[in-house]
Amino acid sequence: MLTFRSVEGGWYKQYEESLKEEGYKRDLYNAIAVLMYPLFVDNPNLWKLILNIGDIRSWTSLDDLFNHLEANADESYRESLSKMRKMFG
């Protein structure tokens, strides 16, 4: 059973090493999707971030990816992206 220390700023750190390991972690991926879902419901423009991700393997860290996404975000989803980043803080 997955548990989270907090939704903002901490739950990702709790599972970061597990996410780096090879293999599929259905329960963990599902939990991440459930936590992120409200951001996409509140602001469907957030889907635009997919256009800027590129090859996910090219990012050396999640922080680097978020830096890139924020640099390329437009105003329609900048605030929602910031909220997402806090979730992974």
CA distances from 80 to 11, 16, 36, 50, 70 (A): 18, 22, 10, 13, 10
Q: What's residue 2's pLDDT?
A: 47
Q: Report the distance separating Cα 82 and Cα 89, nearest Å.
A: 10
pLDDT score of 69 more than 90: yes
pLDDT band at residue 4 using 50, 70 and 90 as cut-offs: very low
- Tens digit of each residue's pLDDT (9 = 90 or more) over 17-34: 887 778 888 888 888 899
